[in-house]
Amino acid sequence: MNEVFTRAPHLRSPAVEQSQHAALMIDFDNVTMGIRSNLGQEIRKLLDSDAIRGKVSVQRAYADWRRYPQYIVPLSEASVDLIFAPAYGSSKKNATDIRLAIDAVEIVFTRPEIGTFILLSGDSDFSSLVLKLKEYGKYVIGVGMKESSSDLLVQNCDEYYSYNTLSGLTATSDATTETFDPWVLAGRPVQRMVERKDVMRSDRFKQVMLE
């Protein structure tokens, strides 16, 4: 059984137990920091894990794909629909969040057979979406990076799992952890921003770090 971190799952309602369909919604901006080279294999391992129950009828990943061209083919080969959420202005990240939230609520009304939502994100901004989905009787499974997932989001989801564990990136027997100089890590996104002639703002710095 895969590890659930921070909290135990709630009990399922009978209505949710009978549902055989699920929707996977990926906030790609939020998970790129933990992704390794073989993304397609990671997604397949995630979907094959025992945390994912029922048929995943909807698989969508949201991002401004101009920023992630290297991930387009692996995600497409994993049968994930790429939803293009172009980033404009100062609130670049919010474009993805809003589009994902709108689509999730739309699925509630247009695909009543879907009883489980699998949210691949650790962003606290989705806490309200999780509560709304549960209000409509849906069961919400969260998956995110253990070290960066919002405590509020973890608490609001019915279950929450580590992406690295589910996708096979972290074995339970791993005894060593690779460490990095924080100044080197901070310098890399700054260098990329200079090369792109990007605007030096804290919100952009965070997004470039996640690439």
Is residue 9 scored above 50 in pLDDT? no
pLDDT at 78: 86
Mean pLDDT of 32-58: 75
Q: Read off the CATH number of the domain in which 137 is found.
A: 3.40.50.1010
Please tell me the total count of domains within the chain: 2
Mean pLDDT of 122-145: 92
C-alpha–C-alpha distance, residues 91 and 105, integer Å: 22
pLDDT tens digits for 83-132? 998 877 655 567 888 999 999 999 999 999 999 999 998 888 899 999 99
Is 193 found in the same domain as 121?
A: no
pLDDT at 205: 60
Is 98 found in the same domain as 195?
A: no
Is 185 found in the same domain as 160?
A: no
Residue 7 inside a domain? The answer is no
* Domain extent for 123: 14-172
More confident residue, 58 or 17: 58
Q: How many CB atoms lie within 10 A of CB 102?
A: 11
Is residue 137 scored above 70 in pLDDT? yes
Mean pLDDT of 58-68: 92
Is 211 found in the same domain as 124?
A: no
Is 186 found in the same domain as 168?
A: no
pTM summary value: 0.70
C-alpha–C-alpha distance, residues 132 and 129, integer Å: 5
Is residue 82 scored above 90 in pLDDT? yes
pLDDT tens digits for 153-177? 889 999 988 877 776 644 333 333 3
